[in-house]
Structure 1
């Protein structure tokens, strides 16, 4: 095939997609997977991702892909690069699409004997790609991923659909009130997390409403900080449930999908809420990427941006006050 246009009708083997390593980025790949499945409706489309991501893709089964654990990142029986390549070699892969921009992933596919590899020409990996596209840094991540499908196939698509996750009925016992999830981030999120003093003020402002029950989300590393917030809420803490560190990624999708609304920093849970159709107020401070490149495209998300003049990154997010957040949430209800 080389750099020529790929004719999907002439491709007999399986298709492999290498996922990014973060939750939000993986959710943003879903439109590209949909385009790929339209091009190859009868072929097996595998997605290779880190083991924890498998839970997320159980809620994206409607995209028709098969998840493969990247055993290089398993805690037990961890594979080497060569052993993982040997395993992939058994899948009869005709085309691989790199949705992660690392040299290591391109080398993996070279060792796996995949002849047709699509990816962006970055990180000195162009010699390992059959179709090396020029990366437009200003494009939204969803566009970047979709272009890796559209351009090599002769641009058959004019548009794409927004990412969608389908949650299952949650097993979490929810209140009969309006249930609102909060992902404010712990100190592990660095400059992105909502400061604890403002988080406590926000919690107290919200639970003053008798019709709201709050659910604090987070991973195991954030559980203690979320429990401290709940404890400091005093009597109001009875209207707050700490779920941080208590669920796998699929259950997190189900829980967020069951909420009446969510408040979140720029994060994976924010992208989950958007993809589940849960109304979400996003608190945008200093992000890891320009907001224009990662912002969810669903209409159920309302973004609050800081207008801080501070040169200190940790202070930027403080410009978004608890009152501003509760005022916006009031428009959702």
Structure 2
């Protein structure tokens, strides 16, 4: 939307450092990425220091997709005249163009509406996000088996984590129905759980590769794009799968946001949403059975 509105302007994206490599793939001649070092591990960059750095660019306009007060302060201190954002967290006086937030709107709707409404509503619809990826056999190599990416999360994911014993049953069931090779994904803190799951699968002669904690963010995207299916909890990898058009089964228990405002929009996406009445948040996701997940996976893997 911004490129259509400003075809000849340079657009800069201020992103957390770990996200920069993803966005850098989508840059063009006039689209640039700046690492927000305030969020870099061990860095002590303050709002004032970052504002001083941004001031040299002489930005005319800033669009705040994040809702924090600090973002509005950052743009104000950087001397940016037009600041677009939602009126929340006490930052209304700092915005030149402020919209009232409707928390029922999907996140994609929120971001696009912010651009659209502040420019006089020139657009009637928005496009769904897509991620660039590279086709490679460096990570996903098994041509005789159907490659399936898997992310059940770890205990660090709290109530979103799908317990290992149920995860194991799920993959065992799927492996009985189809010749598959599983790629276990996750961050370094989840590696021990993935290795345990891989060992249990190996005991049943089910092939699996542990990629947990070994891939960069862009390699994670490439891996998911190379697979024919993704099985995931409500997570970043789930959204990556949809953005590269890999069919995905999502296991949705108690999340960090209402499911209705984060649910991916894709025809090759199946969400299994817990109907549990448990008052224990950690038990909610366990109401989704391995049988349900396997059935949903097989339906997405079935040829048209």
Deviations 1:75-94 (A, max 9, x none): 35542221111111011200
CA contact (8 A) 1:101 1:122 kept: yes
Check 1:237–1:189 CA distance in 2 against 1; reply closer, same or farther (3 A cut): farther
| Partner in structure 2 of residue 36 of structure 1 | 2
CA contact (8 A) 1:55 1:249 kept: yes
CA contact (8 A) 2:274 2:288 kept: yes
| Partner in structure 1 of residue 226 of structure 2 | 258
| Partner in structure 2 of residue 30 of structure 1 | none
Which of 111, 128, 135 is 2:77 aligned to? 111
Task: Give the aligned CA root-mean-square deviation in angstroms.
Answer: 1.5
Whole-angstrom distance in 2 between the partners of 1:103 and 1:120: 10
2:129 counterpart of 1:160: no
Unaligned stretches of 5+ residues in structure 2: none
Consecutive aligned runs of 4 or more in structure 1 exceeding 4 Å deviation: none
Q: Give the secondary structure class of the aligned counterpart of 1:165.
A: coil
Shift of 1:309: 1.7
Q: Which has the higher contact order (CA 8 A, sep 6+)?
A: 1
Deviations 1:188-231 (A, max 9, x none): 00000101110111122222245210010000010111101111
Unaligned stretches of 5+ residues in structure 1: 1-34
Whole-angstrom distance in 2 between the partners of 1:200 and 1:190: 18
Shift of 1:299: 1.6
| Partner in structure 1 of residue 296 of structure 2 | 328
TM-score (norm 2): 0.95
Counterparts of 1:222-237 in structure 2, within 5 Å, are: 222-236=190-204
The number of equivalent residue pairs is 299
Counterparts of 1:49-198 in structure 2, within 5 Å, are: 49-61=15-27, 65-75=31-41, 78-170=44-136, 171-176=138-143, 177-198=145-166
Q: Give the secondary structure class of the aligned counterpart of 2:209.
A: strand
CA contact (8 A) 2:202 2:208 kept: no
Which of 159, 164, 171 is 1:203 aligned to? 171
CA contact (8 A) 1:37 1:63 kept: no
Whole-angstrom distance in 2 between the partners of 1:192 and 1:96: 34
2:266 counterpart of 1:298: yes
Whole-angstrom distance in 2 between the partners of 1:75 and 1:253: 23
CA contact (8 A) 2:221 2:240 kept: yes
2:229 counterpart of 1:273: no
Check 1:272–1:219 CA distance in 2 against 1; reply closer, same or farther (3 A cut): same
Whole-angstrom distance in 2 between the partners of 1:64 and 1:183: 35
